[in-house]
Structure 1
């Protein structure tokens, strides 16, 4: 029985590259717009939480001026501070999710840039952002390097909100200790312990979300192993 001859695929039409570039460009602008909306939400949520926290501190200071650090102050603080801490925890969780969503958008844009480089050979020498979708290339798009330093992570909105939440939890523990009539050293110890435990819990949530992102990220266009590393980009 004779085998059927293999028929090669038809050559691409002259206008295919232009149509492909147009579709990729529309998708790129869509991802950019979504990224802008996410960053606007990050700034808005962080600003709202810090504004509410500042208003709470001012209100409690007025209560102190009027009644002193007495029972009235403790009652008001125990009513208000848990609500602020709950808002802070919700803000922290949403900021983490927003950062993960932003990372996936960066992965998508890196894949689109990979298509641009494929369509126009030599275009990669003009790009400072990554055009592969592996982890190192995603980090390159974030800060134009293939790794993120501690200062970059420390300055992020989730870290700032997390630190505020930890301190707020410690202050709340001290006030609860005062209401229970504990000794001063016990109040301070309880405040420090609660603040540290809160910080550890928030860090654990961050690490778990980061590990899940790494597990879910399956590069479709990874960086070739034979490609040399730019020493300036790796600093």
Structure 2
């Protein structure tokens, strides 16, 4: 391969790299905006219920209004939560793709290897190294955007489930119990969904470069 060909390939790889960076940034920005909007709606909804409660003394049509507001928040939260989980997988795809490009850079010039902090391997181990360049960070998943939206959605779903039980004439202890079960169950289900999506991505992905190939 001539120097001119190497230069052309490097330019094409750099263009693709910047495209992936821009797409990753746009996706993260859009998801954070959605989460912020949802959290604002949750706050506004709870304040609205407080005002309505004071106005109606928590009687009459307050129960119907409360369930309506909570149902709307549950639906919006479900949509936002699904988008957040999809964005997490998209982000992983961007990381894997950029790892692959680094591998192409090394094919052009192996001497660049010491200057890459992120991995040049586009397999699962390579993505982990890129995400945790300086070692695993406890609480990384717990503090993620997907986990935040999952916890809030679980709380709203629990409130809605408890409200339904009370609306049907159930005892307060039953409403609290079923509400807690619904909230915790929702959180567990979405954690399983997220893990399965992660595993499915790498089961279908065929890496071009792994650590064993170096």
TM-score scaled by structure 1?
0.85
Q: Which has the higher helix share?
A: 2
Within the alignment, does 1:89 sit opposite 2:78 as a pair? Answer: yes
Q: 1:61 aligns with which of 50, 63, 72?
A: 50
Q: 2:205 aligns with which of 203, 208, 217?
A: 217
Within the alignment, does 1:143 sit opposite 2:136 as a pair? Answer: no
Superimposed CA distance per residue, residues 25-80 of structure 1 (whole angstroms, 9 cap, x where no aligned partner): 11111111111111111111111111111111111111112122223221111111
Task: Work out the CA distance in 1 between the residues paired with 2:7 and 2:77.
Answer: 48
Structure 2: tracts of 5 or more residues without a match: none
Within the alignment, does 1:120 sit opposite 2:109 as a pair? Answer: yes
Q: 1:42 aligns with which of 13, 31, 40?
A: 31
Q: 1:183 aligns with which of 171, 177, 190?
A: 171
Structure 1: tracts of 5 or more residues without a match: 1-11, 228-235
Task: Work out the CA distance in 1 between the residues paired with 2:75 and 2:178.
Answer: 19
Q: Which residue of 1 aligns with 2:62?
A: 73
Aligned-partner SS, 2:22: helix
Larger Rg: 1
Task: Work out the CA distance in 2 between the residues paired with 1:161 and 1:167.
Answer: 10
Contact residue 139 and residue 145 of structure 1 kept, 8 A: no
Q: Which residue of 1 aligns with 2:162?
A: 174
Task: Work out the CA distance in 1 between the residues paired with 2:183 and 2:30.
Answer: 27
Task: Work out the CA distance in 2 between the residues paired with 1:152 and 1:106.
Answer: 16
Cα RMSD over matched residues? Answer: 1.6
TM-score scaled by structure 2?
0.93
Q: 1:104 aligns with which of 93, 98, 104?
A: 93
Equivalenced residue count is 214
Task: Name segments (4+ residues, structure 1) moved above 3 Å.
Answer: none
Within the alignment, does 1:24 sit opposite 2:13 as a pair? Answer: yes
Q: Which has the higher contact order (CA 8 A, sep 6+)?
A: 2
Task: Give 1:150 shift.
Answer: 4.8
